[in-house]
């Protein structure tokens, strides 16, 4: 398998398909479940924001949202297991894209929302965003690579309404450049943020950017399993990277799993 510059296997192909079947089929084999672990933390933060700011339905921006996974989990009370069965079970491979979408639209129309929030997705994959919008998981989308480019005028208008910013694994590839552009688009609004970032990636540059913009960041206790290593070589690549950063992987990545930390950032009063 091809590896990227971080030492991880490249999974770029699963984010650019017209529907989520390749995404879930591939990640199911790797026990990918960080969105499931993130859900209660995001739900808690949404609830805190609603009470603190007196906002009935806050707008959540999901960076690297792909097919709207975090939105689906939070809005409809389903699990990653449900989604794996939905898109990688035997029935899924007999369906067309339109059939998958029809079933998803039933979910988004019928099931009660468990998280009172509106979800925007930010991603470089037009295919993934299109599916999430068509399915009803996302309420809006920004198709952009904010690592390279400033948001356009219409994109800036969408981003300006953000109340909370979340992510579950894209930080590291997405850097402080994207975070700075989102903050700039939001202006005085200054959304709250919660980011899960793999231990192999430094969070310090992002924390510094947030601090300069008036934020205070707290790392939550605990570590969160993201997925299993796909190959022995991927494991060795990551262990070397952790060792170079002075991070002890014993009992964690050394046992075959990626681990992430959760950083929560709020504007200072």
Which residues is 62 bridged to in the sheet? 121, 166
Q: Rounded to 5 degrees, what angle do the CA atoms 195, 197, 203 make?
A: 90
pLDDT of residue 1: 63
> Which regions of the chain are under pLDDT 50?
none
Phi, psi angles (nearest 5°) of residue 263: -115, 125
pLDDT of residue 115: 80
Which of 268, 165, 255, 159 minimizes the C-alpha distance to 211?
Answer: 268
Contacts of 183 (CB under 8 A, 6+ apart): 190, 209, 210, 213
DSSP state string for 3-53: B-TTSSBP-GGGGSSSSTHHHHHHHHHTT--HHHHHHHHHHHHHHHHHHHH
pLDDT of residue 193: 98
pLDDT of residue 125: 97
- Helix 69-76 with 34-53: angle, nearest 10 deg: 60
Structure confidence by residue, pLDDT tens digits, 154-168: 999 999 999 999 999
Structure confidence by residue, pLDDT tens digits, 126-181: 999 999 999 999 999 999 999 999 999 999 999 999 999 999 989 999 999 999 99
pLDDT of residue 2: 75
- At residue 60, the 3 state secondary structure works out as strand
pLDDT of residue 143: 98
30 burial (CB, 10 Å; 0-12 / 13-18 / 19+) is middle
59 burial (CB, 10 Å; 0-12 / 13-18 / 19+) is buried
């Amino acid at each position: 398998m091809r590896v990227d510059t971080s030492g991880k296997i490249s999974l770029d192909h699963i984010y650019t398909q017209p529907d989520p079947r390749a995404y879930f089929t591939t990640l199911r084999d790797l026990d990918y479940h960080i969105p499931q672990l993130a859900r209660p933390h995001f739900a808690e933060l949404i609830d805190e924001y609603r009470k603190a700011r007196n906002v009935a339905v806050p707008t959540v921006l999901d960076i690297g949202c792909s097919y709207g996974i975090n939105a689906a989990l939070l809005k409809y009370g389903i699990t990653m297991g449900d989604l794996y069965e939905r898109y990688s079970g035997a029935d899924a491979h007999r369906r067309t894209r339109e059939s998958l979408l029809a079933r998803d639209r039933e979910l988004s129309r019928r099931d009660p929302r468990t998280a009172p929030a509106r979800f925007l997705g930010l991603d470089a994959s037009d295919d993934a965003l299109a599916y999430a919008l068509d399915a009803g998981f996302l309420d809006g989308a920004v198709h952009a690579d904010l690592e390279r480019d400033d948001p356009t005028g219409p994109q800036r208008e969408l981003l300006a309404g953000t109340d909370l910013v979340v992510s579950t694994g894209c930080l590291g590839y997405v850097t402080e450049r994207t975070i700075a552009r989102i903050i700039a688009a939001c202006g005085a609004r200054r959304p709250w943020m919660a980011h899960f970032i793999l231990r192999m990636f430094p969070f310090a540059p992002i924390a510094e950017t947030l601090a300069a913009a008036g934020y205070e960041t707290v790392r939550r206790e605990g570590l969160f399993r993201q997925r299993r290593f796909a190959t022995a070589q991927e494991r060795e690549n990551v262990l070397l990277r952790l060792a170079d950063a002075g991070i002890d992987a014993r009992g964690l990545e050394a046992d075959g799993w990626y681990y992430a930390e959760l950083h929560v950032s709020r504007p200072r009063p």
